[in-house]
């Protein structure tokens, strides 16, 4: 019962996200996120992924579902950033991230801990792949690698 309600809620949320996606695509063409917004998104993404790991361990499936929605929205902004730079390889890593996030969302609806664990592993691998191409360490944090 509980699960069924959540599925219905997740479906209407899914629709909301589709509409959101369509709007943010238009918004992306008007104003791509700034370098500062990109960094802020990365920090938020980092918190969300930590939360995801906790929620998978604790089998908090509804919370995990909310995490995947939060992650998707942030990565759509990150996507707009790299689209504006026409950085094809970065966009490939983002497709990987979004695919892993969808698998994680499915796992949350099916309460499937093994599938969730695999999806988080794939998500982390995609973060790492992009970081090794595009991220550079500085004295006080990270920046986009010059030319990236
Ligand atoms: C499309 C490439 C790309 C993907 C995918 C990506 N990142 Fe990043 N990330 C970057 C770049 C470039 C930087 C450095 C510039 C910045 O901070 O904006 C960065 C910075 C960061 C930082 C440091 C922020 C700071 O300055 O303190 C964290 C934390 C982070 N990413 C986490 C993640 C996590 C977690 C994922 C996967 C869920 C991820 N990133 C996926 C490109 C990416």
The per-residue pLDDT for range 90-105, each reduced to its tens digit, is 999 999 999 999 999 9
pLDDT, tens digit, 9 for 90 and up, residues 31-85: 899 999 999 999 999 999 999 999 999 999 999 999 999 999 999 999 999 999 9
Q: Is the pTM of this model over 0.95?
A: no
Cβ neighbour number for residue 75 with a 10 Å cutoff = 17
* Residue 140 DSSP one-character state: T
Question: Ligand 1 centroid to 8 CA: how many Å?
Answer: 33
Determine the atom of ligand 1 nearest the C-alpha atom of 96. Answer: 5
Phi, psi (5° rounding) for residue 94?
A: -70, -35
Question: Which CATH number is 61's domain given?
Answer: 1.20.120.290
Residues touching ligand 1 (Cβ under 6 Å) are 38-39, 42-43, 45-46, 49, 82, 90, 93-94, 97, 123, 126-127, 130-131, 134-135, 141-144
Count of the separate structural domains present in the chain: 1
Which residues, in sequence order, are CB contacts of 140 under 8 Å at separation 6+?
none
Domain range spanning residue 24?
2-144
Residue 66 sits at the vertex; the CA angle it makes with 8 and 97, to the nearest 5 degrees, is 110
């Amino acid at each position: 019962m509980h699960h069924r309600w959540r599925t219905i809620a997740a479906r209407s949320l899914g629709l909301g996200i589709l509409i959101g996606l369509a709007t943010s695509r238009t918004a992306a063409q008007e104003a791509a996120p700034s370098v500062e917004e990109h960094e802020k998104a990365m920090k938020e993404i980092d918190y969300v992924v930590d939360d995801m790991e906790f929620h998978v361990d604790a089998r908090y499936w509804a919370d995990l579902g909310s995490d995947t929605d939060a992650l998707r929205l942030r990565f759509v902004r990150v996507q707009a950033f790299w689209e504006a730079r026409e950085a094809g390889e970065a966009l490939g890593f983002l497709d990987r991230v979004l695919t892993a996030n969808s698998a994680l969302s499915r796992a949350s609806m099916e309460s499937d801990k093994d599938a969730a664990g695999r999806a988080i592993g794939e998500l982390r691998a995609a973060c790492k792949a992009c970081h090794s191409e595009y991220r550079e360490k500085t004295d006080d944090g990270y920046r986009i690698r010059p030319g990236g």
